[in-house]
Amino acid sequence: AVMASGSIPLALSAVEDIHGAGPGMYYDGGVTDYHFDIPFSDDSLVLYPHFYPHITPGWFDKMLSWRRGNPQHYDNVLILCPSAEWVASLPFSKIPDRKDFGRMDDAERIRYWGEVMKRSEELAGELDEVRTSKRILASINPAER
């Protein structure tokens, strides 16, 4: 899969017959399958660490705020994500992203990203506290639909 990660459909040629993956043409799936929007294979719980509480099926769907994954595909999925309040408390009220390279000079971007990395330790601490206090059920919210 990594071998085809740069093969953008309609822009670059596919990678053919990847050893161990079977015969065929392989493309980067991020454009069409930005987030998984398929039913998981069994009824086990699936832990899905993510930036936000919603799933965006395809790369081009990112601009369509109403476009979300099929809710039936997530009946057994726990999305582990920071709260909107926590994200709003970050510098610039957002999680760092690649657009920061165009919005900030190197020093500002590095300072900002470093602050958010440091603040992310709060999330690790909260998860550990929820896990060890056995308040995990009280901490689970229904998925955005």
CA triplet 41, 46, 48: central angle to 5 degrees? 125
**What six digits make up the tokens of 75?**
């009946």
Taking only the tens place, the pLDDT of each residue in 17-37 is: 777 877 887 766 665 556 677
State the Cα–Cα distance between residues 81 and 50, nearest whole angstrom.
5
State the Cα–Cα distance between residues 56 and 35, nearest whole angstrom.
6
- Helix-then-strand count for the chain, H and E: 3, 4
Cα 33 to Cα 29, 56, 104: the distances in Å are 5, 9, 30
Residue 79 has φ and ψ, to the nearest 5°, of -90, 120
Taking only the tens place, the pLDDT of each residue in 39-97 is: 877 788 888 888 888 887 776 667 777 778 888 888 888 888 999 999 999 999 999 99
State the Cα–Cα distance between residues 49 and 87, nearest whole angstrom.
15
Q: What is the reported pTM? A: 0.69
